[in-house]
Amino acid sequence: MIKCDKCNHDAIIYQRYSGMHLCETHFKEDLLRRIKRTIRKHGMIKSGDKIAVALSGGKDSFLLLNVLYEIVSVRRDVELFVISVDEGIEGYRDRLLTRASSFLKELGLFYRVGSFREEIGRTLDEIVSMGFKETPCSFCGVFRKRILNRLAREHGATKVATGHNLDDEAQSILMNYLKGDIERLARLMPLRPIEGFIPRIKPLREIPEREITLYGLLEDLPTTVMECPYASRAFRSDIREVLNILEDRHPGISYSIIRGFEKIRPLLPDRLEEEEIWRCETCGEPSSGRICKACMLKDRFLR
């Protein structure tokens, strides 16, 4: 059995990008240290912050919650609460959220769940059964974002924390490069806040997905490996495959992708000149046109 590089216990993981073998204790310690370093490096948490943790019920969101809970429990100047979105996907999100809510009760955190049913009058299952040509993810993303932002704002949050990990982030950066979508690329890391839109933080953006999976197994988190039944995301899954091959042959490539993006980001405008931020005439939320995308979609679903 290979030993840990920091003590003489058995190693449970080999980090190819760092060349280290780590035991359970040192793996967890290293993981938490790196998340805290990301938070510090990007100034993600400031005195007076009230952070809304977006909990999907997946392993990433529980790790995120554990870390933030630990940080906040020793700081009196930062508050934490939890928000979730129930899209109305039977047998999937309902199960994840039931487990999440008993876990949260133990932590004693304020918890609010917003739903597609309340927000748009239809569940995602119902919308899918209406047979639109777009993928469910393209509707779902718009409303999830909308609901999280509204819940966070209504309860006085100054930041929304999401569980995006290194793989998610490297995939998003690469996808936008390849599509030449510079506006979306810039939006992954906005430089200035947009009025009415609560800034996002991604404390896990430097943690590889496989390490989060391992942490979830070791900590026995109340989650499963269920995948959303509507997950298709054709382009993203191709990118994931390509990145996995690259990472295998060139360990650390995902880190290079996000480091490179961090260097390029200050050179990109926050948004292109002509794209002003409006208030949606129907719902009053920030929008890139007179009527926001959520209201346009909603109109189709309720017809």
In the complex, the smallest distance separating the C-beta of residue 7 from Zn ion, rounded to whole angstroms, is 4
102, 222 contact by CB (below 8 A): yes
- Nearest alpha-carbon partner for 149 in 112, 176, 186, 204: 112
- For Zn ion, which is the closer residue by CB, 263 or 303? 303
Binding of Zn ion by 4 (CB under 5 A): yes
Binding of Zn ion by 6 (CB under 5 A): yes
Please spell the DSSP secondary structure of 161-213, one letter per residue: E----HHHHHHHHHHHHHHT-HHHHHHTS-SSPPTTSPPEE-TTTTS-HHHHH
Place of tokens 């370093």: 37
What mask of x and - would describe binding to Zn ion in positions 145 to 164, judged by CB under 5 A? --------------------
86 annotated to a ligand binding site: no
137 annotated to a ligand binding site: no
- For Zn ion, which is the closer residue by CB, 78 or 297? 297
Determine the interface stretch with Zn ion among 20-28, 76-84, 177-185, 250-258 (rule: CB under 5 A). Answer: 20-28
What mask of x and - would describe binding to Zn ion in positions 46 to 75, judged by CB under 5 A? ------------------------------
Q: Please measure the distance between the N-terminal and C-terminal CA atoms of the chain and give it in whole angstroms.
A: 63
Binding of Zn ion by 12 (CB under 5 A): no
What mask of x and - would describe binding to Zn ion in positions 263 to 282, judged by CB under 5 A? -----------------x-x
78, 71 contact by CB (below 8 A): yes
Mode of pairing for the β-strands spanning 20-22 and 13-15: antiparallel
Place of tokens 């197994």: 217
Q: Annotated binding site for ATP, which residues?
A: 54-56, 60, 85, 163, 168
Contact footprint for Zn ion (CB under 5 A): 4, 6-7, 9, 23, 26, 280, 282-283, 292, 295
